[in-house]
A and B are shown apart, each in its own frame.
Chain A
Amino acid sequence: MSGRREVGAILALLVIVATTAMTAVAQEKILSFTVEPVSIEVGAGERATVTVRIENASVREADDIVVTWTGPGEFVLAPAPQEITVLRPFNSIDLVVSILAPENALPGTVAGSLEFAYTYCIGDLCFQLLDSRDITVLVRTPAGVGPTDAAIPPAGPVPDSSQPAARAWIPYAVAAGLALFVLATACVMRSSGVRWPLGAVLLLAAGAGLAYGVVLGQHEQARSIAAVLCTSCVGIEETAARAPHLSAEETARIRALSEPVDLLVFHAPWCRSCPFAEALVEQVGALNARIGYRFVDVEREPELARRYGVIQSGRTVVPAIVRLGVDHVLFGIENLENRLVLLLEEGA
Protein backbone atom coordinates (compact mmCIF):
# COMPACT_ATOMS: atom_id res chain seq x y z
CA MET A 1 0.00 0.00 0.00
CA SER A 2 2.80 2.29 0.98
CA GLY A 3 4.53 1.64 -2.35
CA ARG A 4 1.40 2.56 -4.28
CA ARG A 5 1.06 5.83 -2.41
CA GLU A 6 4.66 6.66 -3.18
CA VAL A 7 4.17 5.92 -6.84
CA GLY A 8 1.08 8.13 -6.73
CA ALA A 9 3.15 10.90 -5.20
CA ILE A 10 5.80 10.47 -7.85
CA LEU A 11 3.24 10.61 -10.63
CA ALA A 12 1.76 13.76 -9.11
CA LEU A 13 5.25 15.21 -8.99
CA LEU A 14 5.75 14.25 -12.61
CA VAL A 15 2.57 16.05 -13.62
CA ILE A 16 3.57 19.14 -11.64
CA VAL A 17 7.06 19.17 -13.12
CA ALA A 18 5.87 18.62 -16.68
CA THR A 19 3.11 21.22 -16.48
CA THR A 20 5.18 23.86 -14.85
CA ALA A 21 8.22 23.19 -16.99
CA MET A 22 6.08 23.99 -20.00
CA THR A 23 4.88 27.24 -18.47
CA ALA A 24 8.41 28.06 -17.39
CA VAL A 25 9.45 28.04 -21.02
CA ALA A 26 7.43 31.22 -21.44
CA GLN A 27 9.97 33.50 -19.88
CA GLU A 28 9.31 36.91 -18.41
CA LYS A 29 9.33 39.94 -20.66
CA ILE A 30 12.03 42.28 -19.50
CA LEU A 31 11.39 45.19 -21.88
CA SER A 32 8.41 47.48 -22.10
CA PHE A 33 7.55 49.30 -25.32
CA THR A 34 5.57 52.53 -25.62
CA VAL A 35 4.68 53.77 -29.09
CA GLU A 36 3.72 57.41 -29.58
CA PRO A 37 1.53 58.21 -31.46
CA VAL A 38 -0.39 54.98 -31.91
CA SER A 39 -2.33 56.42 -34.81
CA ILE A 40 -0.66 58.09 -37.79
CA GLU A 41 -1.77 59.63 -41.03
CA VAL A 42 0.14 59.15 -44.24
CA GLY A 43 -0.34 59.53 -48.00
CA ALA A 44 0.50 56.81 -50.55
CA GLY A 45 4.28 56.66 -51.01
CA GLU A 46 4.84 58.89 -47.98
CA ARG A 47 6.38 58.13 -44.67
CA ALA A 48 5.38 59.00 -41.13
CA THR A 49 7.34 58.60 -37.96
CA VAL A 50 6.51 57.23 -34.53
CA THR A 51 8.66 57.25 -31.45
CA VAL A 52 9.18 53.97 -29.63
CA ARG A 53 10.34 54.21 -26.04
CA ILE A 54 12.03 51.00 -24.99
CA GLU A 55 12.56 50.62 -21.26
CA ASN A 56 14.55 47.93 -19.52
CA ALA A 57 13.44 47.96 -15.88
CA SER A 58 14.95 44.54 -15.17
CA VAL A 59 18.33 43.46 -13.92
CA ARG A 60 19.06 41.68 -17.20
CA GLU A 61 20.77 43.08 -20.26
CA ALA A 62 18.61 42.97 -23.39
CA ASP A 63 20.42 42.22 -26.64
CA ASP A 64 19.67 42.37 -30.34
CA ILE A 65 16.39 44.27 -30.17
CA VAL A 66 14.87 44.18 -33.65
CA VAL A 67 11.82 46.20 -34.67
CA THR A 68 9.80 45.13 -37.70
CA TRP A 69 6.42 46.03 -39.21
CA THR A 70 3.61 43.53 -39.53
CA GLY A 71 0.31 44.27 -41.22
CA PRO A 72 -1.62 44.22 -44.48
CA GLY A 73 -0.41 46.00 -47.60
CA GLU A 74 3.21 46.65 -48.42
CA PHE A 75 4.02 49.04 -45.61
CA VAL A 76 7.65 48.83 -44.55
CA LEU A 77 9.94 50.42 -42.03
CA ALA A 78 12.43 52.65 -43.69
CA PRO A 79 15.17 51.80 -43.10
CA ALA A 80 14.40 48.33 -41.90
CA PRO A 81 14.86 46.48 -39.73
CA GLN A 82 15.54 48.84 -36.85
CA GLU A 83 18.01 47.26 -34.48
CA ILE A 84 19.60 48.02 -31.13
CA THR A 85 22.49 45.83 -30.08
CA VAL A 86 22.45 46.28 -26.29
CA LEU A 87 20.12 47.85 -23.73
CA ARG A 88 21.62 47.68 -20.26
CA PRO A 89 19.58 47.16 -17.06
CA PHE A 90 17.63 50.18 -15.82
CA ASN A 91 18.11 52.04 -19.07
CA SER A 92 15.76 53.25 -21.74
CA ILE A 93 16.10 54.44 -25.27
CA ASP A 94 13.90 56.38 -27.71
CA LEU A 95 13.84 55.01 -31.21
CA VAL A 96 12.38 57.00 -34.08
CA VAL A 97 10.76 54.62 -36.54
CA SER A 98 9.67 55.65 -40.06
CA ILE A 99 6.78 53.80 -41.60
CA LEU A 100 6.66 54.05 -45.40
CA ALA A 101 3.34 53.59 -47.18
CA PRO A 102 3.49 51.85 -50.58
CA GLU A 103 2.82 53.82 -53.76
CA ASN A 104 -0.32 51.82 -54.39
CA ALA A 105 -1.76 52.20 -50.87
CA LEU A 106 -5.50 52.63 -51.02
CA PRO A 107 -7.17 55.33 -48.93
CA GLY A 108 -8.56 54.04 -45.66
CA THR A 109 -7.45 52.69 -42.35
CA VAL A 110 -4.80 50.03 -42.01
CA ALA A 111 -4.32 48.16 -38.74
CA GLY A 112 -0.75 47.01 -38.34
CA SER A 113 1.71 46.54 -35.57
CA LEU A 114 5.32 47.01 -34.67
CA GLU A 115 6.87 43.68 -33.73
CA PHE A 116 9.74 43.59 -31.30
CA ALA A 117 12.15 40.67 -30.94
CA TYR A 118 14.96 40.63 -28.42
CA THR A 119 17.08 38.25 -26.43
CA TYR A 120 18.47 38.12 -22.92
CA CYS A 121 20.69 35.64 -21.18
CA ILE A 122 20.89 34.23 -17.70
CA GLY A 123 24.25 32.57 -17.46
CA ASP A 124 24.53 30.26 -20.45
CA LEU A 125 20.80 30.19 -21.09
CA CYS A 126 19.43 32.71 -23.58
CA PHE A 127 15.83 33.46 -24.40
CA GLN A 128 14.30 35.13 -27.39
CA LEU A 129 11.17 37.10 -26.60
CA LEU A 130 8.60 38.67 -28.86
CA ASP A 131 6.31 41.60 -28.21
CA SER A 132 4.20 43.90 -30.33
CA ARG A 133 2.28 47.19 -30.26
CA ASP A 134 -0.64 48.00 -32.50
CA ILE A 135 -0.57 51.02 -34.80
CA THR A 136 -3.40 52.42 -36.88
CA VAL A 137 -2.37 54.00 -40.18
CA LEU A 138 -4.84 56.28 -41.91
CA VAL A 139 -3.98 56.47 -45.61
CA ARG A 140 -5.10 59.79 -47.09
CA THR A 141 -6.71 60.22 -50.48
CA PRO A 142 -3.92 60.48 -53.13
CA ALA A 143 -2.87 64.05 -53.86
CA GLY A 144 -0.30 63.29 -56.52
CA VAL A 145 2.57 63.46 -54.09
CA GLY A 146 5.49 61.08 -54.70
CA PRO A 147 7.80 59.55 -52.17
CA THR A 148 9.51 62.05 -49.95
CA ASP A 149 12.82 60.32 -50.24
CA ALA A 150 13.83 58.74 -53.52
CA ALA A 151 16.89 57.15 -51.99
CA ILE A 152 15.08 55.12 -49.38
CA PRO A 153 17.03 51.96 -48.84
CA PRO A 154 15.26 48.73 -49.59
CA ALA A 155 13.68 46.93 -46.72
CA GLY A 156 16.14 44.62 -45.04
CA PRO A 157 15.49 41.01 -44.33
CA VAL A 158 12.78 40.56 -41.78
CA PRO A 159 13.98 38.23 -39.07
CA ASP A 160 11.98 35.08 -38.75
CA SER A 161 10.45 35.57 -35.34
CA SER A 162 9.38 31.96 -35.23
CA GLN A 163 13.03 30.93 -35.00
CA PRO A 164 13.84 30.07 -31.41
CA ALA A 165 16.99 31.33 -29.74
CA ALA A 166 20.02 29.15 -30.25
CA ARG A 167 19.71 27.44 -26.88
CA ALA A 168 15.96 27.43 -26.50
CA TRP A 169 16.00 23.61 -26.59
CA ILE A 170 17.58 23.52 -23.15
CA PRO A 171 14.33 23.96 -21.19
CA TYR A 172 12.81 21.03 -23.06
CA ALA A 173 15.89 18.91 -22.53
CA VAL A 174 15.91 19.69 -18.81
CA ALA A 175 12.18 19.01 -18.51
CA ALA A 176 12.63 15.71 -20.35
CA GLY A 177 15.61 14.86 -18.12
CA LEU A 178 13.60 15.62 -15.01
CA ALA A 179 10.69 13.53 -16.24
CA LEU A 180 13.04 10.61 -16.99
CA PHE A 181 14.66 11.04 -13.59
CA VAL A 182 11.30 10.95 -11.86
CA LEU A 183 10.14 7.93 -13.89
CA ALA A 184 13.37 6.09 -13.17
CA THR A 185 12.98 6.92 -9.50
CA ALA A 186 9.43 5.61 -9.54
CA CYS A 187 10.80 2.33 -10.89
CA VAL A 188 13.46 2.30 -8.18
CA MET A 189 10.86 2.87 -5.50
CA ARG A 190 8.87 -0.11 -6.69
CA SER A 191 11.78 -2.33 -5.81
CA SER A 192 12.87 -3.28 -2.34
CA GLY A 193 16.49 -3.59 -1.35
CA VAL A 194 19.53 -3.24 -3.53
CA ARG A 195 20.24 -6.05 -5.92
CA TRP A 196 23.31 -6.19 -8.06
CA PRO A 197 21.98 -5.08 -11.44
CA LEU A 198 20.01 -2.16 -10.00
CA GLY A 199 22.78 -1.24 -7.58
CA ALA A 200 25.32 -1.29 -10.39
CA VAL A 201 23.13 0.90 -12.61
CA LEU A 202 22.57 3.42 -9.81
CA LEU A 203 26.23 3.52 -8.90
CA LEU A 204 27.12 3.91 -12.54
CA ALA A 205 24.63 6.76 -12.90
CA ALA A 206 26.01 8.50 -9.81
CA GLY A 207 29.60 8.06 -10.95
CA ALA A 208 28.78 9.16 -14.50
CA GLY A 209 26.93 12.23 -13.22
CA LEU A 210 29.80 13.25 -10.99
CA ALA A 211 32.43 12.53 -13.63
CA TYR A 212 30.60 14.33 -16.42
CA GLY A 213 29.89 17.23 -14.05
CA VAL A 214 33.60 17.48 -13.31
CA VAL A 215 34.42 17.34 -17.04
CA LEU A 216 31.99 20.23 -17.58
CA GLY A 217 33.59 22.14 -14.71
CA GLN A 218 30.42 22.04 -12.64
CA HIS A 219 32.38 21.20 -9.49
CA GLU A 220 34.20 24.53 -9.85
CA GLN A 221 30.90 26.24 -10.61
CA ALA A 222 29.39 24.72 -7.46
CA ARG A 223 32.31 25.88 -5.36
CA SER A 224 32.21 29.41 -6.71
CA ILE A 225 28.42 29.68 -6.30
CA ALA A 226 28.83 28.72 -2.66
CA ALA A 227 31.93 30.84 -2.08
CA VAL A 228 30.32 34.06 -3.30
CA LEU A 229 27.44 35.48 -1.30
CA CYS A 230 25.05 37.49 -3.42
CA THR A 231 23.06 39.50 -0.89
CA SER A 232 19.76 39.18 -2.69
CA CYS A 233 20.14 35.47 -3.49
CA VAL A 234 19.66 34.13 0.05
CA GLY A 235 17.34 36.85 1.26
CA ILE A 236 19.71 39.21 3.04
CA GLU A 237 18.13 42.03 1.10
CA GLU A 238 15.65 42.48 -1.73
CA THR A 239 16.46 42.46 -5.39
CA ALA A 240 16.13 45.99 -6.74
CA ALA A 241 13.24 46.10 -9.16
CA ARG A 242 13.84 49.75 -9.95
CA ALA A 243 16.53 51.93 -11.43
CA PRO A 244 18.78 53.78 -8.98
CA HIS A 245 17.54 57.28 -8.23
CA LEU A 246 19.68 60.14 -7.00
CA SER A 247 17.83 63.03 -5.42
CA ALA A 248 18.53 66.61 -6.52
CA GLU A 249 20.47 67.17 -3.32
CA GLU A 250 22.57 64.02 -3.78
CA THR A 251 23.22 64.99 -7.41
CA ALA A 252 24.42 68.43 -6.31
CA ARG A 253 26.70 66.92 -3.67
CA ILE A 254 28.26 64.55 -6.22
CA ARG A 255 28.79 67.41 -8.70
CA ALA A 256 30.45 69.45 -5.96
CA LEU A 257 33.21 66.87 -5.36
CA SER A 258 36.53 68.40 -6.25
CA GLU A 259 38.93 65.55 -5.44
CA PRO A 260 39.47 62.57 -7.76
CA VAL A 261 37.82 59.36 -6.54
CA ASP A 262 38.35 55.82 -7.80
CA LEU A 263 35.77 53.14 -7.19
CA LEU A 264 35.86 49.38 -7.65
CA VAL A 265 32.49 47.68 -8.05
CA PHE A 266 32.67 43.96 -7.25
CA HIS A 267 29.99 41.80 -8.86
CA ALA A 268 29.23 38.23 -9.92
CA PRO A 269 27.56 37.14 -13.15
CA TRP A 270 24.50 35.61 -11.46
CA CYS A 271 24.02 38.28 -8.80
CA ARG A 272 20.66 40.00 -9.21
CA SER A 273 21.50 43.03 -7.08
CA CYS A 274 24.74 43.80 -8.87
CA PRO A 275 23.24 45.53 -11.94
CA PHE A 276 21.66 48.08 -9.60
CA ALA A 277 25.02 48.89 -8.01
CA GLU A 278 26.65 49.04 -11.43
CA ALA A 279 23.94 51.32 -12.84
CA LEU A 280 24.23 53.64 -9.83
CA VAL A 281 28.00 53.92 -10.17
CA GLU A 282 27.60 54.61 -13.89
CA GLN A 283 25.14 57.39 -13.06
CA VAL A 284 27.48 58.85 -10.49
CA GLY A 285 30.43 58.64 -12.86
CA ALA A 286 28.44 60.51 -15.50
CA LEU A 287 27.76 63.34 -13.05
CA ASN A 288 31.36 64.11 -12.17
CA ALA A 289 34.36 63.44 -14.37
CA ARG A 290 36.58 63.15 -11.30
CA ILE A 291 34.87 59.90 -10.34
CA GLY A 292 36.50 56.93 -12.01
CA TYR A 293 35.26 53.38 -11.62
CA ARG A 294 35.91 49.83 -12.67
CA PHE A 295 33.68 46.75 -12.52
CA VAL A 296 35.37 43.66 -11.11
CA ASP A 297 34.01 40.15 -11.65
CA VAL A 298 34.90 38.38 -8.38
CA GLU A 299 35.05 35.04 -10.14
CA ARG A 300 37.71 36.27 -12.51
CA GLU A 301 39.66 38.36 -10.01
CA PRO A 302 39.30 36.74 -6.58
CA GLU A 303 42.68 38.09 -5.49
CA LEU A 304 41.47 41.66 -5.97
CA ALA A 305 38.41 40.86 -3.85
CA ARG A 306 40.64 39.47 -1.13
CA ARG A 307 42.96 42.46 -1.25
CA TYR A 308 40.16 44.99 -0.84
CA GLY A 309 38.31 43.20 1.97
CA VAL A 310 35.32 42.12 -0.05
CA ILE A 311 35.75 38.67 1.51
CA GLN A 312 34.04 38.44 4.88
CA SER A 313 34.49 35.28 6.97
CA GLY A 314 35.55 33.35 3.91
CA ARG A 315 32.63 34.57 1.76
CA THR A 316 33.00 37.01 -1.08
CA VAL A 317 30.01 39.30 -0.65
CA VAL A 318 28.56 41.01 -3.73
CA PRO A 319 27.67 43.62 -4.73
CA ALA A 320 30.42 45.52 -2.97
CA ILE A 321 31.78 48.99 -3.68
CA VAL A 322 35.27 49.95 -2.61
CA ARG A 323 36.72 53.42 -2.74
CA LEU A 324 40.47 53.25 -3.20
CA GLY A 325 42.23 54.77 -0.23
CA VAL A 326 39.28 54.25 2.11
CA ASP A 327 39.28 51.08 4.15
CA HIS A 328 35.61 50.25 4.49
CA VAL A 329 33.40 48.55 1.93
CA LEU A 330 29.78 49.17 0.94
CA PHE A 331 27.96 45.84 0.78
CA GLY A 332 24.55 45.29 -0.77
CA ILE A 333 22.21 47.82 -2.31
CA GLU A 334 19.90 48.87 0.49
CA ASN A 335 19.86 52.66 0.70
CA LEU A 336 22.91 52.54 -1.55
CA GLU A 337 22.42 55.98 -3.13
CA ASN A 338 22.81 57.67 0.25
CA ARG A 339 25.63 55.41 1.43
CA LEU A 340 27.56 55.91 -1.82
CA VAL A 341 27.35 59.70 -1.60
CA LEU A 342 28.65 59.56 1.98
CA LEU A 343 31.51 57.30 0.83
CA LEU A 344 32.38 59.72 -1.97
CA GLU A 345 32.41 62.66 0.44
CA GLU A 346 34.56 60.88 2.97
CA GLY A 347 37.72 62.92 3.61
CA ALA A 348 36.54 65.71 1.33
Chain B
Amino acid sequence: MKLSAWRRVTQGGGVLLGLLGITGIGMTHIVFPGLHCYACPWAITVCPVGLLQNMIVFGTFPFFGLGAILAYGIAAGRGFCGWFCPFGAINDLLSFRRRRIQRTAAYGKYVVLAGTLVAAWALADTVFCKLCPAASLESSIPYLVLGIARVNRPFLVHMATLGATLVGMVLVARFWCRYLCPMGGILSLFNRVSLVHLRWNPTKCTECGACTRVCPMGIEPHHEHDDHNCIKCGACADACSADSLTLHCNLRRRP
Protein backbone atom coordinates (compact mmCIF):
# COMPACT_ATOMS: atom_id res chain seq x y z
CA MET B 1 0.00 0.00 0.00
CA LYS B 2 1.32 3.41 -0.94
CA LEU B 3 2.12 6.00 1.70
CA SER B 4 -0.61 8.27 0.34
CA ALA B 5 -3.21 5.60 1.13
CA TRP B 6 -1.91 5.20 4.69
CA ARG B 7 -1.95 8.94 5.00
CA ARG B 8 -5.64 9.13 4.13
CA VAL B 9 -6.27 6.71 6.98
CA THR B 10 -4.31 8.73 9.55
CA GLN B 11 -5.80 12.01 8.30
CA GLY B 12 -9.22 10.40 8.75
CA GLY B 13 -8.11 9.56 12.29
CA GLY B 14 -7.23 13.22 12.84
CA VAL B 15 -10.66 14.34 11.65
CA LEU B 16 -12.27 11.67 13.80
CA LEU B 17 -10.36 12.82 16.89
CA GLY B 18 -11.33 16.39 16.05
CA LEU B 19 -15.02 15.54 15.99
CA LEU B 20 -15.14 12.83 18.66
CA GLY B 21 -17.12 15.13 20.92
CA ILE B 22 -20.19 14.29 18.85
CA THR B 23 -20.37 11.07 20.88
CA GLY B 24 -20.81 13.08 24.06
CA ILE B 25 -17.22 12.83 25.31
CA GLY B 26 -16.38 16.08 27.02
CA MET B 27 -13.25 18.16 26.72
CA THR B 28 -10.03 16.31 27.60
CA HIS B 29 -6.58 17.52 28.63
CA ILE B 30 -5.02 16.48 25.32
CA VAL B 31 -3.26 19.17 23.32
CA PHE B 32 -4.02 18.59 19.64
CA PRO B 33 -0.95 18.00 17.47
CA GLY B 34 -2.20 20.29 14.72
CA LEU B 35 -4.52 23.21 14.13
CA HIS B 36 -7.99 22.33 15.36
CA CYS B 37 -10.23 24.86 17.09
CA TYR B 38 -11.11 23.92 20.66
CA ALA B 39 -14.25 25.99 20.36
CA CYS B 40 -15.57 23.58 17.73
CA PRO B 41 -18.75 22.16 19.29
CA TRP B 42 -17.42 18.62 18.84
CA ALA B 43 -13.78 19.14 19.80
CA ILE B 44 -12.39 17.10 22.68
CA THR B 45 -8.83 18.41 22.43
CA VAL B 46 -7.14 21.72 23.17
CA CYS B 47 -5.84 23.85 20.30
CA PRO B 48 -2.12 24.43 20.99
CA VAL B 49 -2.10 27.92 19.48
CA GLY B 50 -5.22 28.95 21.41
CA LEU B 51 -3.74 27.50 24.59
CA LEU B 52 -0.43 29.36 24.19
CA GLN B 53 -2.29 32.63 23.62
CA ASN B 54 -4.52 32.18 26.65
CA MET B 55 -1.61 31.29 28.90
CA ILE B 56 0.22 34.40 27.70
CA VAL B 57 -2.87 36.51 28.37
CA PHE B 58 -2.95 35.07 31.90
CA GLY B 59 0.74 35.89 32.33
CA THR B 60 1.59 32.26 32.96
CA PHE B 61 4.47 30.51 31.25
CA PRO B 62 2.85 27.67 29.25
CA PHE B 63 4.90 24.74 30.56
CA PHE B 64 2.19 22.19 29.78
CA GLY B 65 1.42 23.50 26.29
CA LEU B 66 5.06 23.88 25.27
CA GLY B 67 5.91 20.48 26.76
CA ALA B 68 3.22 18.86 24.63
CA ILE B 69 4.28 20.73 21.50
CA LEU B 70 7.92 19.80 22.14
CA ALA B 71 6.93 16.14 22.48
CA TYR B 72 5.04 16.30 19.18
CA GLY B 73 7.96 18.09 17.56
CA ILE B 74 10.43 15.42 18.68
CA ALA B 75 8.09 12.67 17.51
CA ALA B 76 7.40 13.85 13.97
CA GLY B 77 8.08 17.57 13.51
CA ARG B 78 5.82 18.71 10.68
CA GLY B 79 4.83 15.12 10.07
CA PHE B 80 1.65 15.95 11.94
CA CYS B 81 0.82 18.55 9.27
CA GLY B 82 1.07 15.92 6.57
CA TRP B 83 -0.42 12.95 8.35
CA PHE B 84 -2.84 14.13 11.02
CA CYS B 85 -3.96 17.77 11.00
CA PRO B 86 -7.62 18.11 9.84
CA PHE B 87 -7.02 21.58 8.43
CA GLY B 88 -3.97 20.16 6.64
CA ALA B 89 -6.27 17.51 5.20
CA ILE B 90 -8.51 20.24 3.78
CA ASN B 91 -5.40 21.85 2.29
CA ASP B 92 -4.61 18.46 0.75
CA LEU B 93 -8.04 18.15 -0.80
CA LEU B 94 -7.50 21.44 -2.62
CA SER B 95 -3.88 20.76 -3.60
CA PHE B 96 -4.30 21.09 -7.35
CA ARG B 97 -1.39 23.38 -8.16
CA ARG B 98 1.82 21.99 -6.69
CA ARG B 99 3.98 24.92 -7.62
CA ARG B 100 7.38 26.04 -6.51
CA ILE B 101 6.63 29.69 -5.95
CA GLN B 102 7.24 32.29 -3.29
CA ARG B 103 9.77 30.33 -1.25
CA THR B 104 10.62 33.37 0.85
CA ALA B 105 6.98 33.82 1.80
CA ALA B 106 7.24 30.49 3.60
CA TYR B 107 8.87 32.41 6.44
CA GLY B 108 5.54 34.17 6.81
CA LYS B 109 4.45 31.45 9.21
CA TYR B 110 7.15 32.54 11.66
CA VAL B 111 5.90 36.11 11.40
CA VAL B 112 2.34 34.87 12.05
CA LEU B 113 3.62 32.83 14.99
CA ALA B 114 5.52 35.76 16.49
CA GLY B 115 2.60 38.11 15.77
CA THR B 116 0.17 35.70 17.45
CA LEU B 117 2.21 35.50 20.64
CA VAL B 118 3.05 39.20 20.71
CA ALA B 119 -0.55 40.25 20.06
CA ALA B 120 -1.65 38.04 22.94
CA TRP B 121 0.87 39.88 25.12
CA ALA B 122 0.29 43.38 23.93
CA LEU B 123 -3.50 43.28 23.62
CA ALA B 124 -4.22 40.66 26.29
CA ASP B 125 -6.50 38.96 23.82
CA THR B 126 -6.63 35.89 21.61
CA VAL B 127 -6.32 37.91 18.41
CA PHE B 128 -5.24 35.03 16.18
CA CYS B 129 -8.36 33.02 17.09
CA LYS B 130 -10.51 35.84 15.72
CA LEU B 131 -8.79 35.53 12.35
CA CYS B 132 -8.05 31.81 12.25
CA PRO B 133 -9.63 30.12 9.21
CA ALA B 134 -9.78 26.82 11.09
CA ALA B 135 -11.95 28.55 13.72
CA SER B 136 -14.07 30.02 10.92
CA LEU B 137 -14.80 26.57 9.58
CA GLU B 138 -14.98 24.61 12.81
CA SER B 139 -16.61 27.16 15.14
CA SER B 140 -18.18 30.17 13.44
CA ILE B 141 -20.23 28.15 10.95
CA PRO B 142 -21.37 25.44 13.43
CA TYR B 143 -22.36 28.08 16.01
CA LEU B 144 -24.30 29.99 13.37
CA VAL B 145 -26.24 26.80 12.70
CA LEU B 146 -26.71 26.23 16.45
CA GLY B 147 -28.13 29.76 16.79
CA ILE B 148 -25.42 31.11 19.08
CA ALA B 149 -23.42 33.03 16.47
CA ARG B 150 -24.98 35.71 14.30
CA VAL B 151 -23.98 37.25 11.01
CA ASN B 152 -22.07 40.17 12.49
CA ARG B 153 -18.70 41.78 11.86
CA PRO B 154 -16.56 39.14 13.63
CA PHE B 155 -18.42 36.44 11.69
CA LEU B 156 -17.80 38.23 8.40
CA VAL B 157 -14.12 38.67 9.28
CA HIS B 158 -13.94 34.93 9.89
CA MET B 159 -15.64 34.22 6.59
CA ALA B 160 -13.27 36.59 4.81
CA THR B 161 -10.16 34.88 6.22
CA LEU B 162 -11.63 31.47 5.44
CA GLY B 163 -12.55 32.53 1.91
CA ALA B 164 -9.13 34.04 1.27
CA THR B 165 -7.40 30.93 2.63
CA LEU B 166 -9.54 28.60 0.50
CA VAL B 167 -8.79 30.67 -2.60
CA GLY B 168 -5.10 30.57 -1.66
CA MET B 169 -5.28 26.78 -1.26
CA VAL B 170 -6.77 26.41 -4.73
CA LEU B 171 -4.13 28.65 -6.28
CA VAL B 172 -1.16 27.17 -4.41
CA ALA B 173 -1.15 23.69 -2.90
CA ARG B 174 -1.05 23.70 0.92
CA PHE B 175 -1.18 27.51 0.87
CA TRP B 176 -2.04 27.79 4.58
CA CYS B 177 0.52 25.19 5.67
CA ARG B 178 3.26 26.71 3.50
CA TYR B 179 2.95 30.37 4.34
CA LEU B 180 0.79 31.08 7.35
CA CYS B 181 0.18 28.28 9.84
CA PRO B 182 1.69 29.19 13.26
CA MET B 183 1.42 25.59 14.47
CA GLY B 184 3.30 24.48 11.38
CA GLY B 185 5.83 27.17 12.23
CA ILE B 186 6.39 25.73 15.71
CA LEU B 187 6.58 22.12 14.54
CA SER B 188 8.94 23.04 11.70
CA LEU B 189 11.51 24.11 14.27
CA PHE B 190 11.91 20.42 15.14
CA ASN B 191 11.86 19.08 11.59
CA ARG B 192 15.56 18.32 11.58
CA VAL B 193 15.60 16.42 14.84
CA SER B 194 12.30 14.58 14.79
CA LEU B 195 12.19 10.81 14.95
CA VAL B 196 10.21 10.60 11.72
CA HIS B 197 12.21 12.00 8.88
CA LEU B 198 12.68 11.85 5.17
CA ARG B 199 15.85 10.06 4.13
CA TRP B 200 17.58 10.68 0.83
CA ASN B 201 20.07 8.28 -0.69
CA PRO B 202 22.20 10.27 -3.15
CA THR B 203 23.71 7.15 -4.71
CA LYS B 204 20.29 6.03 -5.93
CA CYS B 205 19.00 9.46 -6.96
CA THR B 206 18.81 10.03 -10.71
CA GLU B 207 17.88 13.72 -10.32
CA CYS B 208 14.79 13.06 -12.43
CA GLY B 209 12.80 15.70 -10.54
CA ALA B 210 9.70 13.52 -10.08
CA CYS B 211 9.73 14.27 -6.34
CA THR B 212 9.77 18.02 -6.92
CA ARG B 213 6.80 17.82 -9.29
CA VAL B 214 4.60 16.04 -6.73
CA CYS B 215 5.70 17.88 -3.59
CA PRO B 216 2.67 19.79 -2.23
CA MET B 217 4.93 22.11 -0.24
CA GLY B 218 6.91 23.31 -3.24
CA ILE B 219 10.32 22.10 -2.10
CA GLU B 220 12.90 19.95 -3.86
CA PRO B 221 12.81 16.89 -1.58
CA HIS B 222 16.03 15.38 -2.92
CA HIS B 223 17.92 18.57 -2.11
CA GLU B 224 15.89 19.89 0.83
CA HIS B 225 14.76 16.80 2.71
CA ASP B 226 15.51 18.64 5.97
CA ASP B 227 13.64 21.78 4.95
CA HIS B 228 11.34 23.50 7.46
CA ASN B 229 8.54 23.23 4.94
CA CYS B 230 8.74 19.45 4.55
CA ILE B 231 5.58 17.92 6.01
CA LYS B 232 6.92 14.40 5.58
CA CYS B 233 3.83 13.41 3.67
CA GLY B 234 5.78 10.91 1.60
CA ALA B 235 4.41 12.02 -1.77
CA CYS B 236 8.01 12.25 -2.99
CA ALA B 237 8.81 8.77 -1.69
CA ASP B 238 5.79 7.40 -3.54
CA ALA B 239 6.87 9.17 -6.73
CA CYS B 240 10.55 8.17 -6.58
CA SER B 241 11.05 5.23 -8.92
CA ALA B 242 14.68 4.87 -7.80
CA ASP B 243 13.78 4.51 -4.12
CA SER B 244 16.19 7.25 -3.18
CA LEU B 245 13.67 8.97 -0.90
CA THR B 246 12.12 7.07 1.98
CA LEU B 247 10.34 7.94 5.22
CA HIS B 248 12.09 6.60 8.27
CA CYS B 249 11.62 6.54 11.97
CA ASN B 250 14.72 5.94 13.96
CA LEU B 251 17.03 7.64 16.38
CA ARG B 252 20.11 7.97 14.26
CA ARG B 253 20.39 8.99 10.67
CA ARG B 254 22.59 6.96 8.43
CA PRO B 255 25.34 8.90 6.70
Contacts and interface: CB of A to CB of B under 8 A. Distances in A.
Residue in B28, B123, B192 with the greatest tally of chain A CB atoms within 10 Å:
B192
A334 B57 CA distance: 24
Nearest to A226: B38
A222 B31 contact: yes
A123 B29 contact: no
A105 to B, nearest CB: 44
Interface string B48-85: 00110011111111111111101100100000000000
B238 interface: no
B39 interface: yes
B231 interface: no
Contacts of B227: 2
Given A218-B55, A234-B39, A313-B42, A207 B140 contact: no
B153 A238 contact: yes
B121 A222 contact: no
Contact of A210 (B59, B60, B71): B71
A236 B151 CA distance: 9
A198 interface: yes
B148 A312 contact: yes
A13 B182 CA distance: 12
Interface residues of A, number: 81
Contacts of A220: 29
Given A2-B226, A9-B110, A312-B146, A222 B65 contact: yes
A194 B193 contact: yes
A181 B148 contact: no
A58 B238 CA distance: 56
B165 interface: no
Contact of A334 (B28, B56, B132, B152): B152
B251 A209 contact: no
B170 interface: no
A229 B55 CA distance: 16
Interface string A289-321: 000000000000000000000001111010000
Interface in B105-140: 107, 110-111, 113-114, 117-118, 121-126, 129-132, 135, 139-140
B43 interface: yes
A4 interface: no
Interface in A152-201: 167, 170-171, 173-174, 177-178, 181, 185, 188-189, 191-196, 198-199
A117 B81 CA distance: 48
Contacts of B222: none
B41 A218 contact: no
Interface stretch (B9-17, B89-97, B154-162): B154-162
Interface string B157-199: 1100000000000000000000000000000011011110100
The 9 closest A-B pairs by CB, nearest first: A125-B59, A213-B64, A209-B67, A123-B58, A193-B253, A235-B130, A226-B38, A210-B67, A313-B41
17 contacts: A2-B226, A10-B110, A174-B59, A192-B253, A193-B193, A206-B74, A209-B63, A210-B71, A212-B67, A218-B60, A218-B65, A223-B27, A226-B27, A226-B51, A235-B154, A239-B125, A314-B42
Given A202-B190, A226-B43, A234-B139, 19 more contacts: A13-B113, A20-B118, A28-B123, A122-B58, A122-B59, A177-B61, A191-B193, A192-B192, A193-B252, A203-B71, A203-B74, A212-B63, A218-B65, A221-B55, A225-B46, A231-B149, A232-B154, A270-B58, A334-B152
